[in-house]
């Protein structure tokens, strides 16, 4: 009888301070779960610090630790994709190395998995440890996302979750280059359950996601999973046309039946400005999607592996 293999996958970028503590915490948890065999896949997303050297030594001594070195920084979404492609466990658990995703949830996830959930989501119960801007923007994003994509199950759920092998194999079939992982991880569906947790502060180091990067990621998420923004402009255009017809009738009426009809300079300028910017905005949205098509057609690899240890 062999133990079930579980893969823990952790992408990292310049986390030399967090890595030792992360591995220690993980081994504390995995040692207790003796009915499983854990494979820990660490993906170095082009770090420039000494984290990789440290991990190489660890991997030498421990065959369950797989270290993947990417050829440069590809971003967390790509690094996570590499991890998912490489993981061989019956269940896969993506986790951050900064201990913001508490490793002790892993045992609860496994229990739920054994009870029949294909996906166990870890939902952030509150964001008391994050600043106001991040909290407000996150809640705004999840509202918009739910509206556009119609999936509210994923509000306040990060990449931290357990995913059964069957689901992982389906995720691996999603070969798109524009990768909003939270969306892709959820896309296959299957039976999911939830556990809640309080998100801790970062263990060491600084967040790699600036506000601008997050904004970018949210655009990525929305446009990768919804074409509603495109359709929205058809709708806005239709409303515009309807208004224009009514307006034309009123204006023609005024022109024929009133003498000193010319007036309304301010209104005219405002109309021009408003519709000018609305058109630019619409073209911008179009551009977002065309850009995506362009990137997809180039069909470049999502990541490049430079070295693999174990």
Residues of this chain that interact with Mg ion (CB under 5 A) are 96, 98, 100
Which position among 6, 7, 12, 91 is part of the footprint of ligand UDP (CB under 6 A)?
Answer: 12
Nearest approach, Cβ of residue 108 and ligand UDP (Å):
21
- Can you tell me the distance from the alpha carbon of 281 to that of 142, in angstroms, rounded to the nearest whole number? 22
How many residues of this chain bind ligand UDP (CB under 6 A)?
A: 16
Which position among 6, 7, 9, 13 is part of the footprint of ligand UDP (CB under 6 A)?
Answer: 13
Longest dimension (CA), the chain: 97
Burial class (CB in 10 A: 0-12, 13-18, 19+), 309: middle
| Segment near ligand UDP (CB under 6 A); pick from 12-20, 185-193, 236-244, 267-275 | 12-20
Which position among 7, 11, 181, 183 is part of the footprint of ligand UDP (CB under 6 A)?
Answer: 11
- Can you tell me the distance from the alpha carbon of 108 to that of 112, in angstroms, rounded to the nearest whole number? 6
Whether 145 contacts 182, CB under 8 Å:
no
Q: Is residue 73 part of the contact set for ligand UDP (CB under 6 A)?
A: yes
Q: Is residue 15 part of the contact set for ligand UDP (CB under 6 A)?
A: yes
Whether 45 contacts 78, CB under 8 Å:
yes
Q: Is residue 98 part of the contact set for ligand UDP (CB under 6 A)?
A: yes
Nearest approach, Cβ of residue 98 and Mg ion (Å):
4
Residue 13 or 229: the one with the smaller Cβ distance to ligand UDP is 13
- Tokens read off for 151: 């999936």
Nearest approach, Cβ of residue 149 and ligand UDP (Å):
20
User: Distances from the Cα of 234 to the Cαs of 225, 247, 280, in angstroms?
Assistant: 19, 20, 14
- Can you tell me the distance from the alpha carbon of 108 to that of 60, in angstroms, rounded to the nearest whole number? 30
- Can you tell me the distance from the alpha carbon of 161 to that of 7, in angstroms, rounded to the nearest whole number? 12
Q: What SS3 state is found at 16?
A: coil
Which position among 16, 39, 96, 118 is part of the footprint of ligand UDP (CB under 6 A)?
Answer: 96
* Neighbouring-strand partners of residue 194: 121
Across 88-232, the runs of DSSP E, i.e. the strands, are 91-94, 119-126, 157-164, 192-198
Q: Which of residues 23-52 bind ligand UDP (CB under 6 A)?
A: 45
Nearest approach, Cβ of residue 99 and ligand UDP (Å):
9
Q: Is residue 207 part of the contact set for ligand UDP (CB under 6 A)?
A: yes
| Segment near ligand UDP (CB under 6 A); pick from 48-56, 118-126, 202-210, 235-243 | 202-210
Cβ count within 10 A of residue 262? 8
Per partner kind, with CB cut-offs from 5 to 8 A, the member of Mg ion, ligand UDP, none near residue 73 is: ligand UDP
Per partner kind, with CB cut-offs from 5 to 8 A, the member of Mg ion, ligand UDP, none near residue 279 is: none
Task: Kindly give the residue spans of alpha helices, DSSP state H, lying in 174-264.
Answer: 181-186, 211-225, 228-257
Nearest approach, Cβ of residue 236 and ligand UDP (Å):
33
Nearest approach, Cβ of residue 211 and ligand UDP (Å):
11
- Tokens read off for 240: 């515009």
Nearest approach, Cβ of residue 253 and ligand UDP (Å):
58
Which residue, 105, 84, 89, is CA-closest to 157? Answer: 105
Residues of this chain that interact with ligand UDP (CB under 6 A) are 11-13, 15, 45, 73, 75-76, 79, 96-98, 100, 207-209
């Amino acid at each position: 009888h062999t133990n079930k293999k579980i893969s823990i996958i952790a992408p990292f970028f310049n986390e030399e301070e967090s890595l030792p503590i992360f591995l220690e915490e993980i081994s504390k948890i995995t040692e207790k779960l003796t009915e499983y065999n854990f494979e820990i896949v660490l993906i170095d997303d082009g770090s420039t610090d000494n984290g990789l050297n440290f991990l190489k030594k660890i991997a030498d001594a421990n065959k369950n630790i797989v270290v993947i070195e990417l050829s440069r920084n590809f971003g967390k979404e790509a690094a996570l994709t590499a991890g998912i492609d490489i993981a061989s466990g019956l269940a896969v658990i993506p986790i951050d190395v900064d201990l913001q995703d508490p490793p002790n949830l892993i045992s609860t996830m496994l229990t739920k998995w054994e009870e029949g959930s294909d996906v166990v989501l870890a939902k952030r119960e509150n964001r008391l440890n994050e600043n106001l801007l991040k909290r407000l923007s996150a809640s705004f994003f999840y509202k918009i996302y739910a509206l556009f994509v119609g999936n509210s199950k994923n509000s306040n759920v990060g990449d931290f979750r357990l995913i059964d092998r069957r689901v992982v194999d389906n995720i691996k079939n999603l070969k798109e280059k524009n990768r909003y992982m939270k969306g892709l991880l959820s896309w296959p569906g299957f039976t999911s359950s939830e556990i809640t947790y309080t998100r801790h502060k970062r263990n060491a180091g600084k967040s790699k996601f600036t506000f601008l990067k997050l904004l970018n990621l949210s655009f990525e998420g929305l446009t990768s999973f919804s074409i509603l923004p495109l359709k929205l402009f058809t709708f806005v255009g239709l409303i515009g046309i309807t208004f224009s017809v009514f307006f034309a009738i009123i204006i023609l009426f005024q022109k024929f039946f009133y003498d000193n009809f010319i007036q309304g300079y301010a209104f005219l300028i405002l109309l021009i400005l408003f519709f000018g910017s609305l058109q630019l905005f619409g073209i911008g949205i179009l551009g977002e999607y065309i850009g995506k098509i362009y990137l997809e057609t180039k069909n470049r690899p999502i990541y490049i592996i430079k070295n693999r240890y174990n």
